[in-house]
Structure 1
């Protein structure tokens, strides 16, 4: 049977081991749980529109009635020190009370051709993005 100090040591070692598996996701926030080193050979997310629509259906409080939707095709950008495909998105979502609060801009990050996360403070990442209408988002249902 382990003593109290041996149990405490085991807990500290376990916590340290788990912390070593995680790396900071950079100034964009978040934690990266992969062994990815940020190499430049990320595959292009071919079905990025379908992935994004499926994500937004759950991300938005009310996915019905989105206005002013526009999106830029994914391009490689440096996000948190790693080269990633990033698609920039603008939209005006209807709030729960039915009102609209204005157009927001988001950056959608893809890792290994899969949607990884959405960055809410996307001004720097999306600087110079070439937006095109995204009517599929405006037709989204629950």
Structure 2
């Protein structure tokens, strides 16, 4: 059984986080706030390190994940979220959990603010990911942890 953890976030601002949670029709991944005001962050900064950030955040989103089979990723694209334009990236693949095996095909969407990941959530019926063109994601295909790494480079 897949267990989605409740929080994958970077503390970057309540206003934009509320817009993302409200307009994306996604479950809240909350925990936003902190000292950085969204007024001090340019939401249109390109997420240059998006692949590494996604790989780092994935185990926080899917508990006990050890690898992802057949992963795909979109290029970062600007999209409307509330009254703002932010970068988003869609990721798809079949997460594998050591205790229960493959979880089947999943689609996730990562929203970026100031070039850093702000939310990473199940995409559901998000129109951005439904229309997306995916390309191979070899960095995620070769990622593994725990017993799944035995015998792999």
Give me the TM-score of the superposition, normalised by structure 2.
0.66
SS in 1 for 2:101: coil
Instruction: Give unpaired runs (5+ residues) of structure 1.
Output: 1-20
- Give 1:135 deviation, angstroms: 1.7
Of 23, 26, 43, the residue aligned with 1:27 is 23
SS in 1 for 2:87: strand
Which residue in 1 is equivalent to 2:68? 66
CA–CA separation in structure 2 for the residues paired with 1:40 and 1:130: 26
Whether the 8 Å contact between 1:61 and 1:96 is mirrored in structure 2 is no
CA–CA separation in structure 2 for the residues paired with 1:48 and 1:22: 22
- Give 1:96 deviation, angstroms: 4.3
SS in 1 for 2:100: coil
Equivalenced residue count is: 121
Larger Rg: 1
1:1-142 → structure 2 map (5 Å cutoff): 22-23=14-15, 24-25=18-19, 26-28=22-24, 29=26, 30=28, 33=33, 35-36=37-38, 42-120=44-122, 121-142=124-145
Task: Indicate the structure whose relative CO is greater, using CA pairs within 8 Å and at least 6 residues apart.
Answer: 2
- Give 1:56 deviation, angstroms: 1.4
Whether the 8 Å contact between 1:79 and 1:125 is mirrored in structure 2 is no
RMSD over aligned CA atoms reads: 2.6
